[in-house]
Every structure is written in C-alpha cells, then in structure tokens.
Amino acid sequence: MHKSKIIIIEDEFFAANHISDLVTSLGILVVGVYHSGEEFLNQTNWEFDAAIIDIFLSKEMTGLQVAEHFKQRQKPFIFLTANQDSKTLKEAVHLSPKAYISKPFKPNDIVAALEIISHKLSPKLQVRGAHGIEQISIDQILFIKGDGAYVEIHTREGMTLQRKLIKELEQQLPDFFIRVHRSYLINENYIDQKKANFIVINKIKIPLSRNYKET
C-alpha cells in the first residue's frame, strides 16, 4: 500500500502538532516531525515524498539552508513563513518550493497546498476519455466494477467506462486495492462500513463474495 509520506520541519511545537494533525486528516502519512534543520539532517533517511519547512528555524540552520538539500535531491517541499520581506522571498523563489503558506495559517491553507502536492505525487491510471487519453489519480479511485469486457472506474467525481477486463486492472493497481467479489475491486482506504455480506463505500453497497471474505 502506498500513501504519500510527509515530514515536517517546524521549531514551534504547537504549530508542528497542528500541521501534523491536518496532514493526517487528509490520509497522508506523517513519517517525521523535526524541530530544527540540524535534527532533520542528522536523523533523516530521505524515505519520504515531500516536506513542510518553516523558513525561520530557531537554531543556526535556516529553512532556506535546509531547502538547498531538498533542491539537490529534487524532493518537493512547501515553505511556511511568518516573514514576507522581499529579500527572503527572493531567496526562497530560487529554491523552487511547490507552495508558500503564511503564518498565522488557516487549516484550509495547509489542506489546499497538500492536496496539490499529493495529487502530483499520486500514481496515475491512463484511461481513454472523450478527448483522448486521460489520467486518473489511483488514490482517487473508490472502486472498480467489472462487467464482461468492460469496467466501471468509480471516483468521487463520477464514473468512467473502459473496455478492459477487471483482472487486467487488478494487476496494474497497488496492493491497497482488494478483490472482494469477482466483479468488484475496491480501494480499502475508502471503506466506510464492512458487514458479513457487503461493504459500503461512499454510500454504495458492494457485495462481499464468500470466496473473498478472508481478504
């Protein structure tokens, strides 16, 4: 199962915890919270997808200096700052952050920035749409229903019909997609309710076959 993994570099403990809670609420994994650039560089194994970095950290190393390491490794990051002076912003621009968030921030500021970065990190599934080949973020797929030589790919935005066998798609998708019925493949991250004979996802009942109940 793959979820986007985020780390936070923020010297204010309250802010760091608040951001961590917001990130977790989006279904993104927080795999590290660091309170200085030095602590991060001493402890990190770089096994994460992106970061939120406060530009002004309390110890000697600034967020700008930390971000230099991210740029070298081509790791995406978001800058968090309480300072809007032109010199700092000019230096920050050269480091190519994916977004800026100003303090004091609103929860929606964090959510919007992370949704953008999470969308870019999410693996895509190519489908044939009305305007040619399109891409669907795999993380946004709720479930897939097979019907002979066709499949219905359901997301919160709607349904896409494709000429493909469900078995073919099953082989392409990550392991958080589970076969619960010969005609249904579900994203386990969206299960709202599980009963003896059915599963509910987004208010839709999906049958649970006896052959797949131990999944």
Chain segment 184-205, per-residue pLDDT in tens: 999 988 899 998 899 999 999 9
Residues of the chain where predicted confidence (pLDDT) is lower than 50: 1, 215
SS3 category, 14: helix
First to last CA, the chain: 14
Residue 193 β-bridge partners: 200
pLDDT number for residue 116: 74
* pLDDT given for residue 1 in this prediction: 37
Any alpha helices (H) in 34-157, and if so which ranges?
A: 37-43, 63-73, 86-93, 107-121
- Report the pLDDT value the prediction gives residue 122, as an integer from 0 to 100: 66
pLDDT confidence of residue 45:
92
Q: How far is CA 32 from CA 17, 140, 171, 200, in A?
A: 11, 25, 32, 33
* Gap between the Cα atoms of 40 and 57, Å rounded: 12
Tokens of 48: 């994460």
Going from N- to C-terminal start, the domains of the chain cover 5-121, 125-212
Burial class (CB in 10 A: 0-12, 13-18, 19+), 103: middle
Per-residue pLDDT, 179: 93
Provide the token pair at 143.
């479930």
The pLDDT of residue 119: 65
CATH node for 125-212: 2.40.50.1020
Residue 128: helix, strand or coil by DSSP? strand
Class assignment of domain 5-121? alpha beta
